[in-house]
Amino acid sequence: MASYYVGVDVGGMTIKLGFFSDTGELLEKWNIPTDVSDDGKHILTDIVDSIEEKRESYPGNIAGIGMGIPGPMTDDGVVLKCANFGWGVFNVKNALAGLTGVGNVKVGNDANVAALGEMWKGGGRGYDSIVMVTLGTGCGGGIIYNGKVLTGSKGAGGEIGHIKVERNETERCGCGNRGCLEQYASAVGIVRMAERDLPESSCLYGGEITAKAVFDGAKAGDAYCVEIVERFGRYLGTALSDVAHVVDPEVFVIGGGVSAAGQIILDVVKKYYDENAMYALKDTKFRLAELGNDAGIYGAVRMVLFK
């Protein structure tokens, strides 16, 4: 009888699901909406119903289910805070195992799970100690050390978006502090930097300011855009050098919507990383992520497919 593995990536708006073969091949992926009503109590049952429906096309045994959740988690599968869904503290791993009857269930923080996916089949292929940086609306981090997710004692391992990088910031970060990396190294952060003191001479002036427009402007040689990209690179490159002095990964993998700008990101981040990292850390590699929105379902399955 064939064995299948299911990867689930729970987001604030959409839940991504994928059926994988027992050799780790993605057979089919699909989405369902995230129903956050009633304090998110329908989320798990919606997932289970959707898997049940899909398994009709895949006669056989579901040998494991992995899931990524946005929020801190313990290694035991207890979700500690998932404000987006209104979930309280509970053991989501046991709940999912109970609902499905599948014993091999693992749940992790979504950024860590995406990092595992990129290590397995993406930009971190061939390495087993990676730091993944997700530059989306915010700045997420996931750390894999010797092949295992570094969760941290309070589920806050790899929360690199909240490393303090600017002592003189006046605006507050979403976390309540000031000067967090996320305030500069994220789509929102890049726009925020670009909107301050925008000169009429810049190509950005009068148009819609997006992270993409800033990187496009820099590629075209617009001096103001170059300056913003340099600031972005200085904050992120310096912070990643801090991270390297702690966990010394083999490779940094940079993903998220902002990373679509491509090589310019790696170049400017590596430039400031090299300026700040000690000699022993100079050889650390920098790669772009490769799996896009599928990193989460890949990583989720990776948790349950190999022990």
Tell me how far, at minimum, the Cβ of 117 lies from a second copy, in Å: 20
Kindly tell me which of 80 and 95 has the beta carbon lying closer to a second copy: 80
Rounded CA gap, 72 and 259, in Å? Answer: 24
- What is the binding site for a second copy (CB under 8 A)? 72, 80-81, 129, 143, 145, 150-160, 162-164, 175-177, 180, 238-239, 241-250, 275-276, 278-281, 283-284
At 160, the amino acid letter reads: I
> In angstroms, what CA-CA distances link 288 with 119, 133, 225, 238, 267?
12, 10, 21, 18, 11
Q: Least distance to a second copy from the beta carbon of 212, Å? A: 28
Query: 108, 105, 120: which is closest to 5 by C-alpha?
Result: 105
Of 143 and 305, the one with the shorter C-beta distance to a second copy is 143
Residue with tokens 């700045």: 139
Q: Give whichever of 18 and 157 is closer to a second copy, judged by the CB atom.
A: 157
Residue 146: CB minimum distance to a second copy, A = 9
User: Rounded to the nearest whole angstrom, what is the least distance from the CB of residue 60 to a second copy in the complex?
Assistant: 35
Q: Which whole-number Å values give the CA distances from 59 to 8, 41, 293, 296, in the listed order? A: 19, 29, 27, 24
Q: What distances in angstroms separate CA 39 from CA 8, 44, 64, 84, 96, one per listed residue?
A: 20, 12, 27, 9, 17
Q: Which residues pair with 252 in a beta bridge?
A: 131, 286
- In whole angstroms, what is the distance from residue 296 CA to residue 17 CA? 9
The smaller minimum CB distance to a second copy, of residues 41 and 81, is found at 81
- CB of 227 or CB of 250, closer to a second copy: 250
Minimum CB distance to a second copy smaller for 180 or for 209: 180
For a second copy, the closer of residues 225 and 239 by Cβ is: 239
Task: Report how far residue 27's alpha carbon sits from residue 18's, in angstroms, rounded to the nearest whole number.
Answer: 7
Q: How far is the CB of 275 from a second copy (least distance, A)?
A: 8
From the CA atom positions of the chain, what is the Rg in Å?
20
Q: How far is the CB of 285 from a second copy (least distance, A)?
A: 10
Q: DSSP state, 64?
A: E
Calculate the alpha carbon distances from 242 to 182, 227, 230, 246, 272 in Å.
Answer: 15, 23, 18, 7, 11
Lateral strand order in the sheet of 26-33: 26-33, 14-21, 3-10, 61-69, 105-109
- DSSP symbol at 164: B
Output 71 or 217, the one with its CB closest to a second copy: 71
Report, in Å, the least distance between residue 231 CB and a second copy.
Answer: 12
Shortest distance, CB of residue 31 to a second copy, whole angstroms? 29
